[in-house]
Amino acid sequence: MIKSILYIFIFLISGFLIAQNEITSNLPQLEVTECDNDFFRKDKFWRGADGAVTIDLENGKILWLFSDTFIDTDGTGKRTNSIMINNTIAVQDGNEIGKSNISFYWKGKTKKPKAFFELPGKTWFWTGHGTMMNEKLVVFLFEEKSTTEGLGFETVGWYVAIIENPNENPEFWKINYIKGPETFGVIVGSSAVLKDSSFVYAFGVKEPGTHETYLLRFEKNQLSKGDLSGMEWWTNNTWSKNVSEEPKSSVLFNGQTEFSVHFDNQLEKYIQIQTVGFGHSSLGYRIADNLQGPWSEQVIFYKPQFKNQKEFAYTARAHPELKSDGLLITYNVNNFDFNQLVNDETIYFPKIVTLKIGK
């Protein structure tokens, strides 16, 4: 577990130094406000995680998905007493942070917690994104395994988890796991998942290495039944089935493994949010008229403050499901020194900022 924090950082940002010509200096009017994140600190067992993805459950509640998570098995409210599990979830009552309650969930007993999403075997899941459809909840997961070479782990595929009864307490969710087909190293749904009346659209990033971003889609009725056979790629300016090799000509942009995309009603455009750079990363956005692009150059809108050289930021995402004065965005701060991470509870709880973009 000590190495997992460093590994996930390298996994997310290795090979992803943004070229200077991707970042424009002609910024529109931006207003960024730092917000209190005490919302995530109140549970005495759940002591911080990365990932921080939100899905509107369409019943007045918001689902949060997290990856590597500290659990204090004694409930003392101290991370120093914690162990780490690969993923957890939370359900927020209402859509406004600070005015809503949040409840955290994982599997197993209190003294022996286990990941919420897991299957028997030696691999594990980190959480991607997902959506509600046909009264079911669909969550994309990326599958990892340990190795004795390289970074100590590798991505071996992706899954879709379909929850038949998302309106019930998560302790009683019925989860069906469907393994994704071959996508040539592209981790489908690791970042943004959106929907319209007919399709679910999933962005995926090629791992490891290049971080090239692709767009795929699934017919909603098929996907809700766990049928992934109709998956289509956006390639050569059209939707294509039966793709037999990686469609290199259809890369949208270079992105992190985890980012967000949503349609912004004020801008009347799609906006993509992610962290940018290595270590002391910044937060940036792109915009487009369509999911397929073309996407704009990247704009840096916020540079987090770090206490020391060993801290780093990653996994920035927007949360349009949440009500706030501006677009609510979370990101995570970690530390290369695991002992500092364990002892410093000002980090590894999602950080919050809001963003307003003038036209």
Contact 140, 129 (CB under 8 A): yes
Give the pLDDT confidence score for residue 210 in this predicted structure. 74
Enter the pTM of the model: 0.92
Give the pLDDT confidence score for residue 26 in this predicted structure. 55
Domain that holds residue 45: 2-357
- Give, as one character, the DSSP assignment of residue 348: S
* Buried/exposed code over 139-177 (b: 16+ C-beta within 10 A; e: otherwise): bbbbbbeeeeeeeebebebbbbbbbeebeeebeebebeb
As for how many domains the chain has, the answer is: 1
Contact 216, 188 (CB under 8 A): yes
> pLDDT tens, position by position, for the chain (359 residues)?
433 444 444 444 443 444 333 444 455 789 999 999 999 999 999 999 999 999 999 999 999 999 999 999 999 999 998 999 999 999 999 999 988 999 999 999 888 999 999 999 999 999 999 999 999 999 999 999 888 776 677 888 999 999 999 999 999 999 999 999 999 999 999 999 999 999 999 999 987 667 899 999 999 999 999 999 999 999 989 999 989 888 888 899 988 889 999 999 999 999 999 999 888 999 999 999 999 999 999 999 999 999 999 999 999 999 999 999 999 999 999 999 999 999 999 999 999 999 999 86
Give the pLDDT confidence score for residue 250 in this predicted structure. 87
Q: Is 30 left (phi over 0), alpha (psi -120 to 50) or beta?
A: beta
CATH number of the structural domain spanning residue 29: 2.115.10.20
Identify how many contiguous H helices and E strands the chain contains and give both numbers. Answer: 3, 26
Contact 121, 148 (CB under 8 A): no
Helices (H), 244-359: 338-343
Alpha carbon separation from 77 to 38, 81, 103, 332 (Å, rounded) = 13, 8, 15, 20
328: nearest Cα among 349, 309, 306, 355: 355
Q: Cα 260 to chain center, whole Å?
A: 7
Alpha carbon separation from 90 to 45, 122, 127 (Å, rounded) = 13, 25, 13
- Give, as one character, the DSSP assignment of residue 212: B
Give tens-digit pLDDT for 264-311: 999 999 999 999 988 899 999 999 999 999 999 999 999 999 999 999
256: nearest Cα among 55, 51, 87: 51
Burial grade of 111 (CB within 10 A; 0-12, 13-18, 19 or more) = exposed
Give the pLDDT confidence score for residue 151 in this predicted structure. 61
Residue 119 one-letter amino acid: L
Q: Is 291 left (phi over 0), alpha (psi -120 to 50) or beta?
A: alpha
Give the pLDDT confidence score for residue 12 in this predicted structure. 45
Q: HSE (CB half, 13 Å, CA atoms) of 129?
A: 30
Q: Is 121 left (phi over 0), alpha (psi -120 to 50) or beta?
A: left
> Quick one: CA dihedral 317, 321, 324, 325, positive or negative?
positive
